[in-house]
Amino acid sequence: MKIKAPVTKNDRIDVTITDLTYQGMGVAKVDDFPLFIENALPGEEITILVTKVAKSYGFARALSWQSESADRVTDVDKTYRQTGIAPLQHLAYPAQLKFKQHQIAELFKKNHQEVEVAPTLGMDNPTQYRNKAQVPVRMIKGQLETGFYRQHSHDLIPLTDFYIQDPAIDEAIVKVRDLLRQFEIPAYNEISDKGVIRNIMVRRGYYSHEMMIVLISRTQKLPSQEQLVDQIQKALPEVKSIVLNVNAKKTNVIMGNVTRTLYGKPTIEDTLMGLTFAISARSFYQVNPQQTEKLYQMAIDKAGLTGEETVIDAYCGIGTISLALAKHAKQVLGVDVVAEAIEDAKVNAQKNHLANVTFAVAKAETQMAQWQEDGVKPDVVVVDPPRKGLAESLIDSTAEMGPKKVVYVSCNPATLVRDVARFEELGYAIDGPIQPVDQFPQTPHVESVTVLVKK
């Protein structure tokens, strides 16, 4: 029997918002049928227009408000919502932190797991925190522009203030944009697959203030390349590295495989947890260093190291957690699938005079199985996986090695819930509250640290 949705497209309805989705959209229910509404907050009474109806849910647009939430922030720039840069900017910051704590607790509850979730660790200034920008470059009405795409589209909205980025990075993008205009270097055109500059990437050390400019180009060489590089240095004294990344493919992937240093060195340096890191154009480095220090300190504290332990760091990247752990452990083994990241990790270990760390290039699950076969007996395993979470084989290998503790740093509560359930089947239990950390204020993303102990 086909159940008919209680609403149809273009219906106008008065609703009360009851919840927020994990993407930060308001939820209203009509006869238990959920409607998702952008820019709507729990408790608000709104007149909506239904815009799309699927089998078990629909989407709607807010037309007018009969009542507003006390947590609503009114002086917001709608551009940041249209581009998806700051989808939660209309929600007061203390309420954002509660939303993230609630999000984790709700997902565990839905999976019939009773857990305690601590209040989210937030920031004093929840704006201007990002130390890296990747912005598209396009021609609009005959002029080269930088900005951000309107959500779910490839229409560029020109922007000069990105709200959640380090203001020095915003300024650098404008200066580079103006120089590209001056030298008449054409922006890339996706439709014709012609033109030159596709994206500008800027990285800036939070503590060091060293800056890297990466020009992502369709061509192997830029028009007026020498003059452009010379003028960028003059305009931006903090720049220690100018890099050309070539991406000649017709693709949505931002970076290509060819990277050439045009000025200075191929890396910039910054410090984290009192350690020095070399960061290259393509290496993964946390974009919010202030919160990363809180996150990693939490992971180290929860690992409870005495200096006698063997620790495995799966998904080690350029070695940020590995090296921080190495100061407190007997030995640390790190693995990552990205060869360049492991090269950087080895350099970073030397830079910080840490000899008790070994790094391997492999898929985390493959290397874990190998270490297990080699009889490696870790006391603690730290995992910091991408959004898709852990491969089941990695969880199995970890459990077979039998570490006393697994410290799980998660960037996606949904995969955390799934992976914790698997660990519990294999004899591990959550120890203490889960600790959320707000790495991405003004967005729905939430990081957290969970400790699992062997029963």
Catalytic residue IDs: 411
Nearest CA among 438, 454, 453 for reference residue 99: 438
Q: Give the whole-angstrom CA distance, residue 306 versus residue 287.
A: 30
- For strand 380-383 and strand 267-272, is the pairing parallel, antiparallel, or unpaired? unpaired
b/e per residue 412-422 (b: at least 16 CB within 10 A): bbbbbbbbbeb
| Residue reference for tokens 């996150």 | 295
Residues 6+ apart with CB under 8 A from 187: 137, 138, 139, 144, 145, 180, 195, 196, 197, 198
CA angle 284, 253, 182 (to 5 degrees): 95
Query: How is 276-344 classified by DSSP, letter by letter?
Result: EEEEETT----S-HHHHHHHHHHHHHHHT--S--EEEEES-TTTHHHHHHHTTSSEEEEEES-HHHHHH
Count of all residues that appear for the chain in the document: 455
Spatial contact of 163 and 127, defined as CB atoms under 8 Å apart = yes
Q: What are phi and psi of 62, to 5 degrees?
A: -75, 130
Q: Give the whole-angstrom CA distance, residue 196 versus residue 246.
A: 10
Tokens of 154: 């490839």
Residues 6+ apart with CB under 8 A from 407: 299, 302, 303, 380, 381, 382, 383, 449, 450, 451, 452
Tokens of 197: 């500059």
Tokens of 381: 């395993």
Q: Give the whole-angstrom CA distance, residue 220 versus residue 217.
A: 7
Distance of CA 136 to the CA centre of its chain: 18
User: CA-CA distances (angstroms) from residue 150 to 126, 136, 156, 179, 280?
Assistant: 23, 12, 6, 25, 29
